[in-house]
């Protein structure tokens, strides 16, 4: 439950985090819940706070004795102040259709390039990997993400559209656990293709054996009946057969595509997985019992221990990935 001095709206958050003391207190409470500050380099508790420099100093006997609260988080080595980082995080997790880097740059008073990098670092923090599998009644479906040729400049169209149908689009798969505690949960991933090994690998990775699995009539799902109570709905005939349908996932795809085309306009396939993580986070934390502050604090608790460099974000360290045929 929020305390009396915690912000509950965007306006209150901007005012609250404009004070460096509030930023420090908020981040310190998230990182060190027992109140004991530990050095992110050597994990020593021989740490003191340097008020005049707004930094900590470790007496563990290593070269990098001083550190800020940014060290060891997605904010590390960023010249952007912590108050702007926290406001950006608030905006991303609470804006239903996301927020573009151009809009973020204007709101925070930074360059579009900096806002783009900041957004991707926050999206990385929103990735919620879990060994817990989905169960109960689960839907599985795929879709294709890609620009519409009629909306592209002629030069872009010639570069990106080299065939018809789904040839130049990216396959994305989702699995959705129907509501148990009042809300459904979704997990999404980028697929190399829609062949059986890719589709069934994702199902086995995210869905507990024995669950009721509903899918369309794509042949790549054949063979799952031995592990799941698998039912198929043929969309050429009908869209609903009792409990067998993928309408919940179809609804999620519509939300995702409206966000991508309406807010972000164009997304490169190389970056698509981070946009999927962002949308999945908002969807999985959309219930009425969670207000904007709760959603923000849950996201903020995930920023520690993660880092995305500029070279990684721009693909300079990227090696082409190969997939089995």
pLDDT tens, position by position, 259-309: 998 899 888 889 999 999 999 999 999 887 789 999 999 999 999 989 999
The rounded distance, in Å, linking the Cα atoms of 175 and 284 is: 12
Looking at residue 320, its pLDDT comes to 47
Each residue's pLDDT tens digit, 119-132: 999 999 999 877 88
Looking at residue 53, its pLDDT comes to 87
Strands (E), the chain: 47-50, 55-58, 66-67, 137-145, 170-177, 185-190, 212-215, 229-232
Please count the other Cβ atoms lying within 10 Å of the Cβ belonging to residue 295.
19
Domains of the chain as residue ranges with CATH:
10-125 (no CATH), 137-267 (3.30.420)
Looking at residue 265, its pLDDT comes to 85
Least confident of 32-36, 218-222, 300-304: 32-36
- How far from the centroid of its chain's Cα atoms is residue 10's Cα? 20
The rounded distance, in Å, linking the Cα atoms of 278 and 123 is: 6
Each residue's pLDDT tens digit, 159-202: 555 555 566 789 999 999 998 777 899 999 999 999 999 999 99
Looking at residue 62, its pLDDT comes to 84
Each residue's pLDDT tens digit, 56-111: 999 988 888 999 999 999 999 999 999 999 999 999 999 999 999 999 999 999 99
pTM of the model: 0.87
User: Exposed, middle or buried by CB within 10 Å (0-12, 13-18, 19+), for 175?
Assistant: buried
The rounded distance, in Å, linking the Cα atoms of 226 and 222 is: 10
pLDDT score of 151 more than 70: no
């Amino acid at each position: 439950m929020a305390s009396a001095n915690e912000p509950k709206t965007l306006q209150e958050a901007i005012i609250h985090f404009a004070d460096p003391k509030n930023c420090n207190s908020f981040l310190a409470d998230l990182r060190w819940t027992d109140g004991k500050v530990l050095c992110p380099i050597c994990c020593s508790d021989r740490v003191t706070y340097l008020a005049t420099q707004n930094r900590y100093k470790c007496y563990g006997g290593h070269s990098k004795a001083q550190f800020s609260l940014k060290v060891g988080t997605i904010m590390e080595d960023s010249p952007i102040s912590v108050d702007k980082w926290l406001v950006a995080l608030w905006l991303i997790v609470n804006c239903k259709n996301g927020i573009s880097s151009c809009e973020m740059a204007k709101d925070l008073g930074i360059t579009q390039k900096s806002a783009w990098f900041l957004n991707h670092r926050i999206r990385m923090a929103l990735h919620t990997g879990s060994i817990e599998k989905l169960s109960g009644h689960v839907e599985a479906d795929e879709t294709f993400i890609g620009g519409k040729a009629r909306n592209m400049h002629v030069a872009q169209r010639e570069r990106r559209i080299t065939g018809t149908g789904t040839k130049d689009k990216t396959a994305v798969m989702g699995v959705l656990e129907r509501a148990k505690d009042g809300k459904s949960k979704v997990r999404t991933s980028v697929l190399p293709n829609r062949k059986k090994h890719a589709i069934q690998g994702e199902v086995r990775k995210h869905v507990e054996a024995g669950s009721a699995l509903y899918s369309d009539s794509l042949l790549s799902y054949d063979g799952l009946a031995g592990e799941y109570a698998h039912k198929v709905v043929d969309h050429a005939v009908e869209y609903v057969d009792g409990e067998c349908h993928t309408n919940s996932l179809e609804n999620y795809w519509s939300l995702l595509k409206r966000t991508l085309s309406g807010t972000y306009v164009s997304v490169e396939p190389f970056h698509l997985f981070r946009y999927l993580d962002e949308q999945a986070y908002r969807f999985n934390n959309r219930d009425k019992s969670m207000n904007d502050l709760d959603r923000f604090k849950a996201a903020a608790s995930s920023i520690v221990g993660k880092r995305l460099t500029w070279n990684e974000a721009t693909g300079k360290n990227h090696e082409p990935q190969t997939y089995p045929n």
